Amino acid sequence: MSVRNGVLVLSDGEMFEGELIGAISNSPITGEVVFNTVMSGYQEVISDPSYAGQIITFTTSHLGNYGTNDTDDESERPRCRGVVIRELARRRSNWRATEDLDGYLERHNIVGIAGVDTRRLTRHLRDHGAVPGAIGIDRDATAAAARDALTTDGIDLVTTVTTDRTLRHETDSGSARRVVAIDCGIKTTMVRHLSGLASVEIVPASTTAEDILARSPNGVFLSNGPGDPAAVDYIVDTVRGLLGRVPIFGICMGHQLLGQAVGATTFKLPFGHHGGNHPVRDLETGKVEITSQNHNYCVDLEGVADLEVTHLNLNDGTLEGFRCTNVAAFGIQYHPEAGPGPHDSAYLFDRFARLMDEHSGATATAGAR
C-alpha cells in the first residue's frame, strides 16, 4: 500500500495531516464534518443515509478490524462524503467479513483520511460545532475547497437518498398489519424491525398523504434522513395530512417532521449527538436506556398544545421523544432500531404495534404485547 499523504481542512482553516484511504479523487471532496463516538459499527454508520453530505470522523482508534460484510449495510450504498479515522486496519479478522474496509470505501467511491489526530478534531468540533471541511492532497486547494463548502443548513438532502419507487417487504411475523414507511433515507435495520410487525411499503418522500391513505395502512412510519428538517416542508405537509387519520411513528428526522407537523420548530444543536452511548429516560417507566444517536437538529416543543414529552436525554436534557395526546402519533429522536448501537429501545416498535392495534383493531400477533 503506497502512502498518499493528504489533509483535512475545516472551513475555519484548521488543518489535519494524514494519509488518504479509500477512493482516489483528484480534487478535494467536501462535506459537513461531524464525529461519531461508537466503538463498533463503522459499516452501519458509513452506510447510513442520514450521513448524506457529511464527512464522518470516528473517534475510536482502529477502524476496519473486522472488515465489512454483506449483511451489515444500512442502505444500498453509503451516502456520506468522506471518513476521517486514526488508524485503518491492514488485515481484517472476522468470520463474517467479506471485504476490507479500504476496499469497501474504494468500491463505494468514498474518500477517507487516516492517521489524523481525531481527538484534536473532535475537541475542535465539540467547541466550534459541526463545520464544513474538505479532504484533499494539495493543502491550498483543499483549504480553498473547505472555505467554499456548505453546511447542511437549509438544504434538502432527502431527495438525494429517498427511493424512486415503492418497495414492498412482506412481514415475517404473519401479522395482517400494514405499514407505509415514508423513506427520507430509511435504514435497513428499521425496515427489519418494521417487517417484524407488519408488511411494509416503502414509499418515496414526495408521496402525498392521499396516496398513502389510499394504501389503507394500519400505521405510517416516518424514517430517519439527512440534512435540515426545516428544508423538507413538503413532507411536513404530508404528515399534517395524515395526522389523526392513521397512527404515526417517526424516528430521528421522522420525529422532527412530526414535530413540525404539529406546530413545533427545530433548531440546530451545538454539536449534535453522534454516538452509541447516550442515556435517555423513558418518562413513562422511569427507566434509563442507552441509545444510538445521530442527529444535529432538535425539536422545540415550546408553546405547542396536545403534546407530552416521553423521552429526555440525560446528558444535556434535550428532547428525545414525544407523543401527541389528541391523535395517535409519537416520535423518537434517537435510534431504537440500533444498527449500530444498543438494543435497549426496541420496545418502541412494540409501542407502535400497540398503537396501530388500538386504532385499527387488527389482529395482533408476534411483535405486539
Partner 1 sequence: MPKRTDIRSILIIGAGPIVIGQACEFDYSGTQACRVLREEGYRVILANSNPATIMTDPDFADATYIEPLAIDVLEKIIERERPDALLPTLGGQTALNLAMELFEAGVLERYGVELIGANAGAIATAEDREKFKQAMIEIGLEVPPSGTAHNMAEAHEVIATIGLPAVIRPAYILGGKGTGIASTPEEFEVIASNGLDASPISEILVERSIAGWKEFELEVMRDRADNCVIICSIENVDPMGVHTGDSITVAPAQTLSDVEYQTMRDAAFACIRRVGVETGGSNVQFAVHPDTGQMVVIEMNPRVSRSSALASKATGFPIAKIAARLAVGYTLDEIENDITRVVDPDTGEVLRSTPASFEPAIDYVVVKIPRWAFEKFPGTTGVLGTQMQSVGEAMAFGRTFTEALQKTLRSLEQGRGGLNGDALESEFDSLDDEALLTAVGRATPDRIYAVESALRRGIPLDVVYDTCRIDPWFLDQMLQISEERAELTSIGFDAMDPATWRRAKRFGFGDGQLAYLWGIDEATVRAARIAAGVVITYKTVDTCAAEFEAATPYHYGTYEDTSEVVPSSRDKVIILGSGPNRIGQGIEFDYCCVHACFSLGDAGYETIMVNCNPETVSTDYDTSDRLYFEPLTHEGVMNVIEAEQQSAADGGGRLLGVIVSLGGQTPLKLADSLPRELILGTSPDSIDLAEDRDRWNSLCAQLEIPQPAGGTATTIEGALAITDRIGFPALVRPSYVLGGRAMEIVYDADGLRSAIAALAGLSGLGREGLLSADRPVLVDRFLEDATEVDVDAIRDHTGEVVIGAVMEHVEEAGVHSGDSACMIPPMGLSEATVAVIESHVRSIAEALDVRGLINVQFAVKHSGDHPDATQVFVIEANPRASRTVPFVAKATGVPLVKIAARVMCGATLAELREEGLLRPAVEGDHVAVKEAVLPFSRFPDADALLGPEMRSTGEVMGIDLTLGQAFAKSQLAAGDRMPEEGTVFMSLADRDKRTGTRAARVFTELGFSIVATEGTAAHFRTEGIEVTEIVSKISDVAGRPIDSTGVDAVELIAAGKVQLIVNSPRGRGPRADGGYIRAAAGRHSVPLLTTAAAALAAANGILETRRHPLVVRPLQEYHAGVHTQG
Contact residues toward partner 1 (CB under 8 A) are 16, 35, 37-41, 43-44, 59-62, 65-66, 69, 71-72, 86-87, 89-96, 117-120, 122-123, 126, 274-279, 281, 286-288, 290, 314-316, 338-343
Least separation in angstroms between residue 251's CB and partner 1 is 18
Told to judge if 359 belongs to the known catalytic residues of this protein, a careful annotator would answer no
Catalytic residue among 80, 252, 298, 324: 252
- Measured CA to CA, the distance from residue 260 to residue 37 in angstroms comes to 29
> Cβ of residue 17: shortest distance to partner 1, in angstroms?
8
What would the grid cell of residue 42 be? Answer: 463503522
Q: Among all chains, which residue has been given the C-alpha cell 434522513?
A: 225
The reply to whether 337 belongs to the active site is: yes
* Cα separation, 46 vs 110, whole angstroms: 9
- Could you tell me the smallest distance in angstroms from the CB atom of residue 345 to partner 1? 12
Closest to partner 1 by CB, 92 or 323: 92
Closest CA to 58 of 136, 110, 1, 3: 110
All three cell numbers of 34, joined, read 461531524
* Residue with smaller CB distance to partner 1, 58 or 297: 58
Active site residue 87: no
Phi first, then psi, for residue 184 (nearest 5°) are -100, 0
In the complex with partner 1, which residue's Cβ is closer, 76 or 316?
A: 316
At closest approach, how far in Å is the CB of 271 from partner 1?
8
Least CB distance to partner 1 at residue 69 (A): 7
Catalytic residue numbers, as ranges: 252, 335, 337
